[in-house]
Amino acid sequence: MDRSSAVIALVRRHGLIVAFLIFIVLVSANSPTFLTVGNFLDVIRQTSITGMIALGVTFVVITGRFDLSVGSMLTLLTVVVVDQHNAVGPGLALLFVLVGGMVLGAVNGLLIGFIGLNALIVTLAMLSFLQGLTLLYSGGANVNIADAQSWFALFGRGTVYNIPVPVLIFLASAAAASFLLRKTIFGRTVYAVGGNEVATRFSGINSRWTIFLAYVLSGLATAGAAIIMGSRVMGAQNTIGQGYELTVLAGVVLGGTSLIGGSGSIWRTVLGIIMLGFIQNGLLLLGYPYYVQWLVTWFVIIAAVWIDLGAKRGRLFA
């Protein structure tokens, strides 16, 4: 390793964290509310939806693939949970949405894992398909939960000992996902497939199943996010999940999970998502409009993939 690649490796490992800390210092100097417990809890609560999705997407990204369909999947599942709440009640609505998320993930997983189609294309096409499906389902109308007193409100609005329920759901799911990824056979195969799919198949592991299951998990996690979303809003618009796919991806890579696959972890994703939440929150507190976050998403994704590639080939420029 020569010096330039050592520098890249250092930047890759710590660069984003350092940049983040500088950002925190700058914001706190200009906004007195930024570093308060109230604001902290607010940020965590706001990130629980992207965070939930990111837990599933982390599995997909570690296999070396993408899931760009999670944004419109979030929209559809939120619309469905709200609408079905009115139609069949909260219990069945929850069941429908959880199963539905897994089925949609399974369709992606089937096309990508078993048929071998390109993940980017398949999930991008799914993004479009689900947008259409959402409008077909809702007829273009926004839906609201009629019974404002439903226990369903707990998931997005409730608190336990002053801690928001969505935060508890997110952290409990993160713990489960982390266990799955780090401690189980399945988790090991996820890393192996992303690290070297050929060698994994030469080790007698059915990489197709691994990829398939990663997408099913991505769908399941998105369903969880849809439940929180529907419960928090107690309603749903037809564009409610728009753009989430890239925000989630930005959070995952901000945590340091490589888009090349084979490395990363749940705690990194949690950290990345929370960091992204603070960046967005800080920008709002500094008086920037909310849509500036999309510019940040661009910056984060480009920086992450660039540093990743730089570390791989030992230099930053082609």
Partner 1 sequence: MTARPQDAPVLEIRGICKTFPGVRALDEVSFNVGKGEVHAIVGENGAGKSTLMKVLAGLHAPDGGKLVYNGQEQSFTSPLDARLKGILLVHQELSLSPELSVAENIYLGAWPTNRVGVLRKKKLHEDARAALQALGSDINPMTRVGELSIARQQMVEIARAQAFNANVVIFDEPTASLADTEKAQLFKTILELKERGRSILYISHKMDEIFAITDRITVLRDGKYQGTETTAETDIDKITRMMIGRDLDAYFHRAKSAPGAEVLRVEKMCSSDFSDVSLSVHAGEVLGLYGLIGAGRSEVAESLFGMRQIRSGTLYWHGEETPFPKPRQAIEMGISLVPESRKEQGLVLGMNGRENTTLPHLSAYAQAGVMVHSREMQTYREYVDLLDIRTSGPDQLVATLSGGNQQKFVLAKWLCGHPKLIILDEPTRGIDIGSKSAIHKFIAGLAEQGLAVIVISSEMPEILGVSHRVAVMSEGKIVAEFTGADQTEENLIAAVSERRNVEAPEEGSAERPPVDARAVMGGQG
Rounded to the nearest whole angstrom, what is the least distance from the CB of residue 193 to partner 1 in the complex?
9
Rounded to the nearest whole angstrom, what is the least distance from the CB of residue 266 to partner 1 in the complex?
16
- Measured from the CB atom, the residue of 167 and 217 that comes closer to partner 1 is 217
Rounded to the nearest whole angstrom, what is the least distance from the CB of residue 10 to partner 1 in the complex?
16
Structure tokens at 272: 């990345």
Binding mask 98-137 for partner 1 (x = CB under 8 A): ----------------------------------------
Q: Measured in whole angstroms, how far is the alpha carbon of residue 276 from the centre of its chain?
A: 11
Tally of CA atoms within 13 A in the half-sphere of 32 that contains its CB: 0
- Measured from the CB atom, the residue of 204 and 287 that comes closer to partner 1 is 204
Candidate ranges 51-59, 122-130, 181-189, 227-235; the one touching partner 1 (CB under 8 A): 181-189
188 binds partner 1 (CB under 8 A): yes
User: Which member of 14, 183, 313, 315 binds partner 1 (CB under 8 A)?
Assistant: 183
Distance of alpha carbon 241 from alpha carbon 303, whole angstroms: 24
Residue 45: closest CA among 171, 147, 184? 171
As to burial, measured by CB atoms within 10 angstroms (0-12 exposed, 13-18 middle, 19+ buried), residue 5 is: middle
Rounded to the nearest whole angstrom, what is the least distance from the CB of residue 204 to partner 1 in the complex?
4
- Measured from the CB atom, the residue of 124 and 309 that comes closer to partner 1 is 309
Binding mask 255-274 for partner 1 (x = CB under 8 A): -------xx-----------
Rounded to the nearest whole angstrom, what is the least distance from the CB of residue 64 to partner 1 in the complex?
11
User: Which member of 195, 271, 292, 306 binds partner 1 (CB under 8 A)?
Assistant: 195
Residue 59: closest CA among 261, 282, 288, 292? 261
Structure tokens at 117: 């189609």
Inter-residue long-range contacts of 84-93, CB under 8 Å, 24+ positions, other chains counted: 85/145, 85/147, 85/150, 85/152, 85/230, 86/143, 86/145, 86/146, 86/147, 90/150, 90/151, 90/152, 93/152
Binding-site ranges for partner 1 (CB under 8 A):
183-186, 188-189, 191-192, 195-196, 198-206, 262-263
